[in-house]
Amino acid sequence: MILKEIKNIYHKELDALYAKEEVESFFYLLIDHYLQLERFVLVIQPNLTLTKEEEQPLFEALSELKLQRPVQYIMGKTTFMDLDFEVNESVLIPRPETEDLVRWILDEADGRFANKKIKILDIGTGSGCIAISLAKHLQDAQISAMDISENALKTAKKNAESNSVKVDFSEVDILKSDGFVSGFDIIVSNPPYVRELEKKEMHKNVLEHEPDLALFVSDENPLIFYDAITKFAKQNLSKNGMLFFEINQYLAKETEALLLQHNFLEIEVRKDMFGNDRMTKALLG
């Protein structure tokens, strides 16, 4: 079949479920993944014809997209901070806004902690995207990461190996943790923060495929992880150490109040690329 005809089929089958631009993105991601063809191939070869063997994975992916399975899970990989990461249903798909959090940490590491071999801990590491990206950019840093999920840690360890970095991984439930190796200069976390009441705002591809364990908290106690991690950070950060969070945009003031309650200083909230309150930084005095 001619590749251009397959593209037309994608639009015919998917435009009712996704924005046309998103369908275009799916199509080009998949032809790059399965056939190593770049976006401009149809400009250069408008009548490019695929064999049955070549077109089969594209139609299999189309069937999964119709069920609203995320394209990253279909391919089994995604890109974060220009690095490749394996992803599957045991880990969240890394979001572009989390890259802003990583860049913020890198800026602080280059400034406040310049010329120091710093220790960083990532709590709730998932795919390992934060910890591994920091390890890649801060090659002299000592990076540790923890998660409650054994399967998530298996994926994170593969990602560390494939990106040629060293991260010390531990299976830990932060809600039950009694202690850890103290003296971290930076602790960072993107914990579960989506309240049950916010499910109605979410797309089916997230609700039905990404891990609930990494996403949702109760409406009654939505800051449960922030409270536990803040208490943990008080015990395990070095003096003038820093705590970074990705946060629920609707709970920025409540998160800031929690940090103040635990005597953190220089609290700053930053917005993401969409203008939503998305991340905080605080200093342990």
Residue 123 lies in a domain: yes
In 3D, which of 282, 184, 283, 189 has the Cα closest to residue 235?
A: 184
Residue 83 in contact with residue 136, Cβ under 8 Å? yes
Residues in a beta bridge with 121? 144, 187
Last-in-domain residue among 21, 43, 67: 67
Residue 272 lies in a domain: yes
Residue 73 lies in a domain: no
DSSP letter assigned to residue 114: T
Question: Is the same domain home to 105 and 242?
Answer: yes
Mean pLDDT of 212-235: 92
pTM surpassing 0.75?
yes
Last-in-domain residue among 38, 67, 96: 67
Is the pLDDT at 204 greater than 80, yes or no?
A: no
Is the pLDDT at 178 greater than 80, yes or no?
A: no
According to DSSP H, which parts of 119-175 are helical? 129-137, 150-162
Question: Is the same domain home to 37 and 115?
Answer: no
Question: Is the same domain home to 38 and 96?
Answer: no
What are 14-27's pLDDT values in tens digits?
999 999 999 999 99
Dihedral (Cα; 57, 58, 63, 68), 10-degree rounding: 110
Question: Is the same domain home to 135 and 20?
Answer: no
Residue 89 lies in a domain: yes
Residue 104 in contact with residue 281, Cβ under 8 Å? yes
The torsion region of residue 131 among left (phi > 0), alpha (psi -120 to 50) and beta comes to alpha
Question: Is the same domain home to 180 and 203?
Answer: yes
Neighbours of 103 (CB within 10 A): 13
Is the pLDDT at 179 greater than 80, yes or no?
A: no
CA distance 90 to 98: 18
| List of residues 6+ apart from 56 with CB closer than 8 A | none
How many independent structural domains does the chain possess? Answer: 2
Question: Is the same domain home to 130 and 247?
Answer: yes
Question: Is the same domain home to 126 and 47?
Answer: no
Last-in-domain residue among 39, 67, 95: 67
| 3-class secondary structure, 84 | strand
Mean pLDDT over the full length of the chain? 94
In this structure, what CATH number is given to the domain that contains residue 148?
Answer: 3.40.50.150
Question: Is the same domain home to 59 and 166?
Answer: no
Domain of 50? 3-67
What are 50-105's pLDDT values in tens digits?
999 999 999 999 999 999 999 999 999 999 999 999 999 999 999 999 999 999 99
CA distance 132 to 189: 13
**Residue where the block lists tokens 């802003």:** 100
Residue 72 lies in a domain: no
Question: Is the same domain home to 22 and 112?
Answer: no
Question: Is the same domain home to 214 and 247?
Answer: yes
Beta strand residue intervals within 142-263, DSSP E: 142-147, 168-171, 184-189, 194-195, 216-217, 237-246
Question: Is the same domain home to 153 and 243?
Answer: yes
In 3D, which of 79, 4, 11 has the Cα closest to residue 48?
A: 4
Is the pLDDT at 205 greater than 90, yes or no?
A: no
Question: Is the same domain home to 241 and 152?
Answer: yes
